[in-house]
Structure 1
Amino acid sequence: MSWRRTVTLGAALLTVASPLAGTAAAAGKSAVQATAATAVRQGTFTDAGAERLADGRLVIRWHASADLGPAKVYWSADPEGHWQELARTYAKYNGYVTADPNPGGRVYFLIKGGNGAAVKTAERKLPLKGATNFRDLGGYRTADGKTVKWGKLFRSDELAGLTAADISYLQKSGLKTDVDYRTGSEVKSKPDPTIAGVKYVADPVFSDSDSAGGTDLISYLASGQFDKLGEPGDALIDGNKSMVDSPSAFGKLFDLILDSSTNALVQHCTAGKDRTGIGSALILLALGVPKETVVQDYLLSNVYRAEYNKAAVNAMVSQFKLTDPKAIEIVQALMDVRKEYIEAAFDEMDSKYGSIQGFLEKGLGLTAAEQAKLKRLYLE
């Protein structure tokens, strides 16, 4: 069975704001006065994030290298400006809980400390009903201290299930380009919805003939020929290597994102974890995000797809009456992303091109000038 073909199989298987930690009132008037009287030390925000609670409220969290004193929280539907004050709090609380200030639309937050230090953040996973793994690549720090802009580069699983509200949300977010890595047969089975104002770009990583061999694995599971399945994870390790060996789809991706008129841009496949995982890793690496951070982003698919993956594995176990532990582990491995999968791609870049940078230059054809342009477009 072609491991390269099997990469597609894993997908085919299937209102009033309040402080987060304590309040000024709870701390007492004297504590507030003491805080205000304390000189703000030099320091910066080291990270920030935002997550949505089940009731729709948003939890904004941050950390700083020192107590930055009084803090203001701002929000905007535009990550590059039009900030509106949301709340006043203290940096030492490390967070804030708020009702969604922009229901039905994308919202970004800006936190400013008393010494002028500031950090932007937003939800990493977009709150869409019809996609489980639609994520923003913004907010990641580069090795030289810059930050990937929010709201410009997205990654996702299949979009066929997007609701009317989801589509409206994406239009309000400024989405302009939809890059689809799926094969022709995958697209035919679940075509992307037409979104007014968004250009659709077919950019298959594999051909239909490459993916057709996925039926081999199904037949092996059905017939109990587990000895032909290889080891758990082998398929995606070899599949990731093959995407480095045949990277033309990702070259096309970079042609698109080098054109500023295409962003905001989303790239996606079926599960949003393998083909999209490599595409996202390459974008972040080209922008100078450290490899360790790239791996962390890659592994987030396990978090956002956990419920879906569990149901898919259980369905396969039930359908094929699997009791063999190795067979079950192989199915689980197909649904997961694992560090060894992305590391296999890095190793292939090192082996064939000498380094990740060598792959960017020779494998994808990104010149030094083009890499500098990417950084001007997508870093701040």
Structure 2
Amino acid sequence: MEAAELAALLTPDGMALLDRTPGVSDGGEIVRVVSRLRSEGHDPQLVSAVLTQAKLRQKARGKFGDFAARMLFTEAGLEQATRLQVAAQHAGRFAAAGLTRVADLGCGIGGDAMAMAALDLDVTAVDRDEVTAAVATHNLAVWPNARVELGDAAAFDVSRVDGIWMDPARRTSGHSDTRRLADPDDWSPSLDTVFAAATSTPTGVKLGPGIDRDLIPDTAEAQWTSVDREVVELALWFGPLARPGIRRAATVIGAHGIAEMTGPADAEDAEVGPLGAYLYEPDGAVIRARLIGDLARALDGHMVSDGIAYVTSDRAVTTPFAQGFRVLDTMPLDVKRLSARLAADGIGTVEIKKRGVDVDPAQFRKRLRLRGTGRVTLVLTRLDGRHSAVLCERLS
């Protein structure tokens, strides 16, 4: 969305038109909405802006729920925005640490600032992009304790606040079709600038979950968060925002609510042993935090192979930190033998998981020539140094 489109949208007529335009997704629906709005005599630029926002609001429901219906977005801003349930966890850190004045530096469309303002924190949200800052201003307008400033996060006077939240821009500038920047020196602000600020001010930092772990300072608590089994971020916490004695945390959010596994450092791996009655696939946040060994010990289990993130146990355990499977059988990883076995068992639907083997699951599934009504999970991995297939069923 460009500045001219936003200006047309941020008028009483523009917002009224947006609020009565439903969310759109498929092509036929888009054509009908455009045709209707054009026939009503609306300016083509305004129609384009309204249609873009209607689509983004529909898409944003997964991150913002009912709040999305009153918010504005840019494509890049929505893609990079923190999910509201995760932002609430961030805000809770500042509130629990007694920090009442917080700067959200690199605020984007304002997702984290919204969560902070909702906890009655005094929030100053800063973004260097004019359109993005205007969108954030709209999204934060209902909270008198939040304000948006147009400016460079690196130049912000941190003496104005008690704590800072930073989300360094890790993509090229723009509102759509941005690309990822691999070098932390190219981020805005750079990672060195972020860590320098953290030495003097209580700081939280949002980063991508796959960041090089060698870049994580020893002074930080590193918290990986997953939502519905997808790892969405790494947050680093400094000063009073970091919890005493904790340097690694895996926070798992899902239908069960919120669960967390923590440790003072990377956990020592559990020993390797034979496949038991049950196989467990750790949540991605647990894997990223390198707490797999602690999970294995909590399950009275062990690893199936060195360097492979599967845990096995003879106990059936329901845990938010892993998906559990009952082991039905094991076979060599031979597609012809597997195909014959699945056909004999009447298996027509197969969920394929893999670790430690070079297999394309989609192509492998085609080669199985499945037929029948039964279902099974097929785990392709290494057991005793050999490529193997484990036939399983999910634990309820």
| TM tier relative to shorter chain | under 0.3
- Greater Cα radius of gyration, structure 1 or 2: 2
TM-score, normalisation: structure 2 = 0.23
Query: Which structure shows the higher helix fraction?
Result: 1
Using CA pairs under 8 Å that are at least 6 residues apart, name the structure with larger relative contact order, 1 or 2. Answer: 1
Query: Which structure shows the higher strand fraction?
Result: 2
TM-score, normalisation: structure 1 = 0.24
